[in-house]
């Protein structure tokens, strides 16, 4: 299984450690195409490619080849929203993970989309259970 993981880069890196843990968990189910999102050295400058166009085209190619998309959506990110929208449009299965206790508001475009499986969670262990349930179906 090819898994596209989406998490904030330019929108803020405060959850980078969590992304790293989620990506390691996802590896139990298949190949994670976007492991770099969990790289703690990656800054909010989003310098994971030579140009913005390169990053866009590379990531869309990965998304096209992915079987599923798993996104951590607590940190607001236009890029993650874009990736989710493109995945839904392509008919891919999408899981979004959100921590309501963060005090942040989840976009209605994510929360209200019937084609997205949205899981609210508190702990990493809760997220792992949601991921397992989603990917084992």
The pTM is what?
A: 0.97
Count of domains forming the chain: 1
Number of H-type helices and E-type strands within the chain: 5, 5
Parent domain of 106: 2-135
Instruction: Return the CATH number at 22.
Output: 3.40.50.450
In tens, the pLDDT along 71-85 reads 999 999 999 999 999
Q: Residue 49 has what pLDDT?
A: 86
pLDDT tens digits, one per residue of 96-122 = 999 999 999 999 999 999 999 999 999
């Amino acid at each position: 299984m090819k898994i596209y993981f989406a998490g904030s880069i330019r929108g803020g890196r405060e959850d980078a450690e969590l992304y790293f843990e989620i990506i390691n968990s996802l590896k139990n189910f298949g190949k994670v195409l976007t492991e770099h999102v969990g790289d703690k050295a990656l800054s909010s400058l989003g310098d994971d490619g030579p140009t913005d166009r390169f990053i866009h085209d590379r990531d869309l190619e990965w998304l096209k080849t992915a079987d599923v998309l798993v996104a951590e959506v607590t940190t607001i990110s236009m890029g993650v929203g874009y990736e989710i929208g493109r995945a839904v449009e392509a008919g891919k299965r999408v899981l979004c993970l959100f921590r309501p206790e963060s005090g942040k508001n989840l976009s209605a475009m994510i929360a209200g989309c019937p084609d997205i499986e949205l899981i609210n969670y508190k702990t990493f262990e809760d997220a792992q259970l949601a991921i397992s349930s989603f990917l084992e179906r």
